[in-house]
């Protein structure tokens, strides 16, 4: 078996885009919706609308961020984006070697025409189903396709809007956020590099992802690893080119929170929330005995599969489950180590001195 060649990357530019995704879908990441809405409200209304239009369609532009020059921060994102013609910005950032050729051809054709029709919409919905198996209702799929086609039918408008919105976001929030997260990213990178000296690659990725078990045989030739404060504990995988993959791992300390100044660590609050639900406790009890798929759990619990998937996602955010990636899908198992760590976190939190305000 050929072991992928490892290399490393770091920069707050990754978190610039990831944080925007988190702020626009806070429930998925266990972030308080009211706080996320407060951050978004700092942007001018027109630029909020542009981001609300673009973010649901943008896979994080990992290939584009990786190619940025040092120091690979928010200012670099803006300066490099300014060098790209407005009409080409959406395609430069959000089309890569992962994008199916049929979808690329359709979107570029719409951009060239400057318009789209119902036939384009139906074709895009079918391509979604073929390549990504989107778990959405037919109406939501059509609405999603219509919104994406609108972007590509107006590439200059949204290319200009993207740059303007990122400039505002950098000014009102992210420039200050970079100062907060940069030391944590540096620490996470150093720790990960030390682990890489001690562990085989599947074990290393399991540790860095906080619970995802990868196959013993990894087919990529080269693998780039980079930390993210805002993605933690979830992981992001992408393809930089046919030879190289990139893995974004969590780089937020266990005693830190996404919300600046929040005294309760995210890891602790998410664990307490996960364990407070009787259904999730039943799920953990099953998973403590043997690994199970969501479908198998749904049958045992007599619940709908989407309900079980929702509970499993909450347990994943709390780092309480292992996920094994298999050809047939995902299989979950209780992560007992995390339960022990949660007890220690709670004890440490209760023992901390309280600062009176």
pLDDT category at 356 given cuts 50, 70, 90 is very low
Q: Which residues contact 201 (CB under 8 A, 6 or more apart)?
A: 3, 4, 6, 214, 218, 223
Q: Is residue 105 part of a domain?
A: yes
pLDDT > 60? residue 357: no
Q: Is residue 35 part of a domain?
A: yes
Domain boundary among 203, 221, 250: 250
Domain boundary among 151, 175, 199: 175
Say if residue 186 is in the same domain as residue 138.
Answer: no
Say if residue 112 is in the same domain as residue 238.
Answer: no
pLDDT category at 355 given cuts 50, 70, 90 is low
For residue 175, give both structure tokens: 């420039």
Tens digit of pLDDT for each residue in 239-266?
898 889 999 999 999 889 999 988 888 8
Say if residue 200 is in the same domain as residue 153.
Answer: no
Say if residue 170 is in the same domain as residue 187.
Answer: no
Tens digit of pLDDT for each residue in 88-103?
999 999 888 788 899 9
Q: Is residue 76 part of a domain?
A: yes
Neighbour count for residue 22 (Cβ, 10 Å): 20
Say if residue 42 is in the same domain as residue 164.
Answer: yes
Say if residue 161 is in the same domain as residue 185.
Answer: no
Round the average pLDDT of the chain to a whole number and report it.
91
Range of the domain at 230: 181-250
Chain centroid to CA 110: 28
Q: Is residue 16 part of a domain?
A: no
pLDDT category at 135 given cuts 50, 70, 90 is low
pLDDT > 90? residue 344: no
Q: Is residue 37 part of a domain?
A: yes
Tens digit of pLDDT for each residue in 254-302?
889 999 988 888 888 999 999 999 999 999 999 999 999 999 999 999 9
Say if residue 160 is in the same domain as residue 228.
Answer: no
Number of domains, the chain: 3
Say if residue 49 is in the same domain as residue 135.
Answer: yes
Say if residue 29 is in the same domain as residue 155.
Answer: yes
pLDDT category at 2 given cuts 50, 70, 90 is low
Percentage, residues of the chain above pLDDT 70: 95
Say if residue 217 is in the same domain as residue 303.
Answer: no
Q: Is residue 318 part of a domain?
A: yes
pLDDT > 90? residue 310: yes
Percentage, residues of the chain above pLDDT 90: 71
Tens digit of pLDDT for each residue in 202-237?
899 999 998 888 776 677 789 999 999 999 998 888
Say if residue 30 is in the same domain as residue 169.
Answer: yes
Q: What is the pLDDT of residue 56?
A: 84
Say if residue 43 is in the same domain as residue 135.
Answer: yes
Domain boundary among 156, 175, 194: 175
pLDDT > 60? residue 104: yes
């Amino acid at each position: 078996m050929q072991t992928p060649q490892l290399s490393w990357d770091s920069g707050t530019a990754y978190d610039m885009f990831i944080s925007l995704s988190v702020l626009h879908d806070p429930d998925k990441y266990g972030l308080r919706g009211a706080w996320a809405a407060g951050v978004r409200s700092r942007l001018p209304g027109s630029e909020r609308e542009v981001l609300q239009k673009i973010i649901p369609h943008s896979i994080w532009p990992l290939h584009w961020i990786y190619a940025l020059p040092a120091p690979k921060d928010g200012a670099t994102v803006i300066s490099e984006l300014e060098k790209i013609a407005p009409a080409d910005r959406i395609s430069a950032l959000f089309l890569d070697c992962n994008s199916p050729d049929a979808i690329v051809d359709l979107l570029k054709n719409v951009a060239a025409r400057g318009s789209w029709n119902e036939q384009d919409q139906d074709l895009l919905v079918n391509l979604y189903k073929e390549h990504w198996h989107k778990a959405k209702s037919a109406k939501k799929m059509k609405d999603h396709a219509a919104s994406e086609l609108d972007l590509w039918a107006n590439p200059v408008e949204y290319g200009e809007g993207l740059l303007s919105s990122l400039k505002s976001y950098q000014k009102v929030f992210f420039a200050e956020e970079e100062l907060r997260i940069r030391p944590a990213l540096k620490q996470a990178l150093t720790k990960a590099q030390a682990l890489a000296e001690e562990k085989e690659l599947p074990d290393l990725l399991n540790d860095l992802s906080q619970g995802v078990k990868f196959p013993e045989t990894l087919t990529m030739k080269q693998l780039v690893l980079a930390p993210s404060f805002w993605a933690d504990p979830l992981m992001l995988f992408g393809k930089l080119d046919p030879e190289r993959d990139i893995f974004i791992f969590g780089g937020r300390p266990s005693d830190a929170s996404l919300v600046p100044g929040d005294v309760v660590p995210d890891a602790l609050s998410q664990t307490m929330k996960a364990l407070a639900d009787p259904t999730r406790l039943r799920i953990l009890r099953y998973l403590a005995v043997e690994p199970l798929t969501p479908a198998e759990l749904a049958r045992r619990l007599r619940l709908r599969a989407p309900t079980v998937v929702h509970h499993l996602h909450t347990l994943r955010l709390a780092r309480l489950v292992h996920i094994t990636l298999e050809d047939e899908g995902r299989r979950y198992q209780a992560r007992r180590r995390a339960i022990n760590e949660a007890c220690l976190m709670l004890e440490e939190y209760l023992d901390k001195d309280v600062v009176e305000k």
